[in-house]
A and B are shown apart, each in its own frame.
Chain A
Amino acid sequence: MSNINSTKVESILKGISSRRDLLLQEYPNLARQVQEIKSTTANNLKESVEKAASSLKGKGCHVIFAKDASEAQEQILKILAGNQSVALSKNSVFTEIALREYLSSNNVEILDTDLGERIAGTKVDAHPWIASINTPISNKEFVAQIKDEIKQKAAHMQYGITGAEAIIEQNGTIALLESEGNVRFTSNLPYNHIVVAGIDKIVPSLEDALAVCRAISVFGMGKDILKYISFISGPSRTADIEFRMVQGMHGPKEVYVILLDNGRLAAAKDQKWDSLKCLHCGGCLVNCPKYIEEGLKKGYYYTGKRAKVLTAFLKGSKQADDADCGDCSLCNKNCPTGIQV
């Protein structure tokens, strides 16, 4: 059984690998560019958080600073204000704060909008972007049925929760990256949009966010750019009636941004830059033999020596400090932000 699956995984990763190599010939400076961007924020993390919070507020977002996973969980439940269902898109931050278990135990029904997560389930995070990378799929009708179900339910949701690939300090803008399209409707259809993002996602400018999105696409997926980038600067607004401003025309009326610390400020203070630069793009997994051996089954976080960085902000017991691997160092070569393990 696992042979069949690893063939699927292998073929996907092989595709990414060869496409990536071609693209890097076209974009030789991309890694260097992104490294500079991430270093800038990491080295000034506290100030960046303050500036970002202020800009986000200036755009009409509610900004909540969560010092740890528990606080993030509680704040989200508070925002839901008794609502018993919420739409969720795929992001590693939800694993970090163990959101699904928390909401379920508080009687909140979760509509996973990522098709891969619906099919493969969310017990094991097999890949940061491709949830079903290790899941055989043969039933076309089943897929169509799930897709339909997501569409029907999403149209009625009052709350949508997403992560963010970047938070732009200068403008108070959130950047969301995807190819499937579910992050768009999770963030646009409901009246309330909740964003959860580690403070390491903060970047200075819109152009920096674009570079980050390019890097994730190239190194993680071997594509020049994924299909959709959504830049969101606050709630939807219109002044078309007598020029009187109203929020919530077609998009959300309220936008909540939960800026998650959960050890990041401490990491900055201790100059542990690596954990603050990781994009969770999956680039390190592409040519990694340990990923296929371990990561697919235990969760992509637990992949060789990268586990130290990937699990840096997971709850204490979930961290992996001294994982061993063959030291082939391919992950170091493939990392867009230059994290060396």
Chain B
Amino acid sequence: MGNQTHKIVKSKVTEGLHDMESRKGRFRAFDAIRPAMLKMVPNYPELSNRLRKIKEYSIDHIDEVIANAKRSLEEKGCKVYLAETSEDAQKYIASLIPKEGLVVKSKSNAGKEINISHYLEDLGVTVVETDLGDRINQLAKSEASHSLAPAIHIPIEKVTKLFSEEEGKQLECTPEALVVSARKGLRDFLVKADVGISGANAIAADTGSVFVTENEGNIRAVSMMPKVHIVIAGVEKIVPTLEDAMQVVRAAAVYGVGQDIGTYVSVISGVSESLDPDLEEFSNGQGPKEVHIVLLKNGRKEAIDVGFKESLYCINCGSCLNFCPVYQEVGGKYGYKYLGGRGLVFAAFHGDLEKSEENGLSLCIGCQKCHTACPVQMATPEMLWKLRQDAVAKKGLGWKKDLIFSMLTKPKTLPVVSKLATTFGKLALKESGKGMTSRLTFDSFGLPQERVIPRFSGKSFVEIAQPKPITSPIKKVGFYPGCVVNYTETDLGEALLHVLGENNVEVKLTKEDVCCGIPSIVSGDLNHAKSMALKNIETYSSFDMDALVFVCPSCAVAFKEEYPKLFAEDSLELQEKVKKLAQKAKDINEFLSQDIKLKPPKQKVTETVTYHDPCHLARSMGVKKEPREIIQKIPGVNYVEMQEADSCCGFGGSFSLSFYELSQRINEGKLKNVADTQSTTLATSCPGCMVHFRDGIAQHDMKQKVSHVVQILSRAYGRR
């Protein structure tokens, strides 16, 4: 990604971070929706898998499904238009609307995709939004701050002013009075409108049925009152049967807003019809006379062809947005037409890679909350990583990252950097009492003056470590410390050796290490990543060990998940080696809980401890209860669970260098939850999270100590 593009993204981030009104609105929605969704989802344990299968089938057979839908819809009296591009769709729709006509519209992502409102308005058509939130934004000339509650950021006083002006009389400043006014005003437009435009949540191919769901009743009105009804929908909305479509609307309610079902689900199967054929000849029922279904292709085929079909499983429920830490803080600036990471995949195939980059391809922190919140289990971060690879292949990495990553492939680099940092560091860095801070600001390196950075140790951990020899070990393990432990958090390495020693586990170390490669992988730089991976694979494959343990789950994920992917096309011999190593890779909490019988810790540790789940550990590896169990085995510990313990700390590795302010802001939300527990120690299981929390805690004058689970256990075994 070029420097220019990075600047564009940074300015979008800054703008988003400083729009506090929108943020307030978003959080009002989150505070209501998050708990509702978390409570509702467990009531429908089969729904997600069922829906994923429906979408997989539909997209794998997309041509067939489109053909069936077209036939069924036409049999029901609809006109079906398959639009190759946005422009095609715009022109077709415009042809159905009289000059200076009146259009009433309900919420539609597909409509936004083709920019239909502005297009029609430019032609002299009056477009009235009927969803209350959209209508408020229309009158206030403001942008939607949330996908489902778009005007939530606008204070009621402002709404009262707008509606009073619209109605021509002063209204009471209560939601009830404003709703009465809006209903009256919008009903008037609905009665007079020439055309109604809606989206579709799903289209059933067997019967030619459009499914729409809502709480207000405006989609019913838009699709019932005007003589012409136009439905705009991407081709991925088509599913085989009525029953499949019902699963889509169920999931939209359960995952998107935490409701069991929307207040209204309307199944519209064509043009209205009197059941008496004589009457039908004269009247065509009492609903719309014409129903047009505009199906959008607009780059979707291309997406499937190059391996991004998963992005078409999306049902636009918005669940991911309710949990994405980046969207939470940056808002609508993250995404393109479709908000959030999913929108960036869309941007790549609707526009081009550049569009995707400009709208935040580099912003995904990789926390995977979207993946766990998604009803179709879309692996959005994986798709974004793939796009980053495409970007790097096309345009290179940018000189900073290129330099750093190529240095990281060499085992000598970091030891040298570390020595230099300790020797000459005092010139550039100063001891602030809380940690090290930079004397000068290096904003473009993510180092503003107030950032507290870890102390570099003079010698790396693997250089100085001396694992205790064990006479009859119950297990033999290798230990991969990772860069943070090796060069700054050596105490964590010592604690690990101590804990394993106490449990009669023999530990083997290497004298020379390279970075696991995750920062390269995440940046899309496969060349350097492969270089680092090969060195690690060579080193550790030669170890005779029962397991390879990690205290950093990001490094563990590199060995377990990413190395097999990196070499999936290589020689079978290499793939075998990588597979064997991946199977041996274990997070230390897993190892201590499952592979051995943990020696009961006897030393009291009098702390109130709360635990933060690292993203890679909780979601990529599924390890959540083991660290908590270990902590609670320690005598003297008062364990308190914090709110949203598994939400991202905001570090994201190199992310915190590229987007430090955002990284901090995400962390601030976590700090509040930490403070609420009144803990004395914040425990976690990732050195990256530790570094970031120490920075945040120091800057906010908080008192919590930050420790790895292994360090607390080590204390309980009598170290120090």
Contact = CB atoms under 8 A, between A and B. Distances in A.
Interface of A: 8, 12, 15, 59, 113, 115-116, 119, 129-133, 136-137, 140, 143-144, 147, 150-151, 155, 170-171, 173, 179-182, 184-185, 188-189, 206-207, 210, 214, 221, 224-244, 246, 248-252
B149 A207 contact: no
Given A171-B261, A179-B275, A228-B268, 6 more contacts: A8-B278, A59-B263, A144-B282, A147-B283, A188-B224, A250-B216
A56 B207 CA distance: 29
Contacts of A237: 215-216, 263
A225 B287 CA distance: 16
A165 B186 CA distance: 30
Given A210-B246, A238-B132, A251-B216, A227 B286 contact: no
Interface in B135-151: 136, 149-151
Nearest to A173: B261
Given A188-B217, A229-B266, A243 B29 contact: yes
Q: Of B150, B220, B246, B279, which is in contact with the most chain A CB atoms at under 10 Å from its CB?
A: B279
B269 interface: yes
26 contacts: A115-B285, A116-B274, A116-B276, A132-B278, A155-B187, A171-B260, A179-B273, A179-B275, A181-B224, A181-B288, A184-B220, A206-B265, A225-B207, A227-B268, A227-B285, A231-B264, A231-B266, A232-B263, A240-B133, A240-B149, A248-B180, A249-B132, A249-B179, A249-B216, A250-B187, A251-B263
B156 interface: yes
B243 A207 contact: yes
A248 to B, nearest CB: 7
Nearest to A141: B282
A39 to B, nearest CB: 20
B175 interface: yes
Contacts of A246: 175-176, 179
Given A207-B246, A227-B287, A238-B179, A137 B275 contact: no
Given A239-B149, A240-B136, A249-B217, A210 B242 contact: yes
Contacts of A155: 187, 191
A252 B268 CA distance: 20
A234 B175 CA distance: 19
Q: 9 shortest A-B CB distances, which residue pairs? A: A251-B217, A181-B287, A250-B217, A240-B133, A231-B265, A229-B267, A181-B272, A236-B217, A240-B132
B286 A249 contact: no
Q: Of B28, B151, B179, which is in contact with the most chain A CB atoms at under 10 Å from its CB?
A: B179
B218 interface: yes
Given A179-B272, A206-B250, A241-B132, A143 B283 contact: yes
Contact of A251 (B131, B159, B220, B243): B220
Nearest to A226: B269
Given A238-B132, A242-B155, A250-B221, A180 B275 contact: yes
Nearest to A220: B275
Given A116-B274, A226-B269, A233 B221 contact: no
B262 interface: yes
B218 A130 contact: no
B269 A137 contact: no
Contacts of B224: 181, 184-185, 188
B391 interface: no
Contacts of B29: 243
Contact of B156 (A143, A150, A188, A242): A242
Given A140-B282, A233-B264, A248-B183, A12 B287 contact: no
B275 A225 contact: no
B363 interface: no
B564 interface: no
Interface string B187-219: 100010000000000000011010000011110
B270 interface: yes
B152 interface: yes
Interface string B70-92: 00000010000000000000000
A249 B106 CA distance: 14
A156 to B, nearest CB: 11
Contact of A228 (B191, B283, B287): B287
Interface string B571-612: 000000000000000000000000000000000000000000
B224 to A, nearest CB: 5
Interface in B218-256: 218, 220-221, 224-225, 242-243, 246, 250
B32 interface: yes
Nearest to B190: A250
Given A179-B285, A180-B287, A243-B29, A206 B261 contact: yes
B373 interface: no
B264 A232 contact: yes
B285 A181 contact: yes
B130 interface: yes
Contacts of B150: 240
Contacts of A131: 276
B282 A143 contact: yes
B182 A249 contact: yes
B217 A228 contact: no
A234 B76 CA distance: 29
Q: Of B243, B262, B274, which is in contact with the most chain A CB atoms at under 10 Å from its CB?
A: B274
A173 B221 CA distance: 19
A147 B286 contact: yes
B271 interface: yes
Contacts of A173: 261
Interface string B361-384: 000000000000000000000000
A137 B280 CA distance: 10
A180 B285 contact: yes
B277 interface: yes
Contacts of B176: 246
Given A179-B275, A180-B285, A207-B246, A234 B136 contact: no
Given A233-B264, A250-B186, A228 B276 contact: no
Contacts of B217: 188, 236, 249-252
Nearest to A247: B179
A180 B286 contact: yes
A115 B283 contact: yes
Contacts of A15: 277
Given A115-B283, A240-B152, A206 B272 contact: no
A233 B263 contact: yes
B189 to A, nearest CB: 11
Q: Of B131, B187, B276, B285, which is in contact with the most chain A CB atoms at under 10 Å from its CB?
A: B276
B266 A228 contact: yes
A242 B270 CA distance: 37
